[in-house]
Amino acid sequence: MKRLLVLTLLAAVAAFGQADGGKQGKKQASQAKVLTRAEIDDLLTHPDQVLILDVRRPDEVKDIGGFPVYLSIQIGDLEKSLAWIPKDRTIIALSNHASRGGRAADILTKAGFKVAGAAGAEDYEEQGGKLTKIVAPAPSPNAKENAKK
């Protein structure tokens, strides 16, 4: 069922792309290096020198998993959040398959950050890497009462 949904979505995207007659043009591919599991693991041997910047939505981190320590800034908020990102660390820009991570790496590089490259959490796991699964906390028993106030 999931595979059928993915195939349907891919077909719709392809049809939409052809329907515009090429008027919108193609987005430029990221200039960022896509990191392998081995390269990520090597960078993580020096945790005090690396920052994993996860640009995915919280539900993606929860459903797919991620790294135990990371800074979460969604791609749409990245440019207005640059002041919050430490400049003294090498950054790995993380998304599911390195696409948004690549865009984030390009933004960061242009802003003067030291960027190792982009990475995909799902790609990392497929290459044998271990992701941390996040379990959402249970709602507070008083959540409904607090919401009414």
CATH code for the domain in which residue 130 is found? 3.40.250.10
Is residue 23, in this structure, part of any structural domain at all? no
Question: Is 46 within a domain?
Answer: yes
Residue 3 has pLDDT above 50, yes or no: no
Percent of the chain at pLDDT > 90 equals 67
**pLDDT attached to residue 27:** 55
How do 90-95 and 71-72 pair as beta strands? unpaired
pLDDT greater at residue 7 or residue 38: 38
Q: Which residue segment(s) compose the domain that 112 sits in?
A: 29-134
Q: How many domains does the chain have?
A: 1
Residue 140 above 90 pLDDT?
no
Segment 60-69 shows an average pLDDT of 93
Does 148 reside within a domain? no
Residue 72 belongs to a domain:
yes
Q: Is 47 helix (H, G, I), strand (E, B) or coil?
A: helix
Q: Could you tell me if residue 140 is inside a domain? A: no
- How many helical (H) and strand (E) elements, i.e. helices and strands, does the chain have? 6, 4
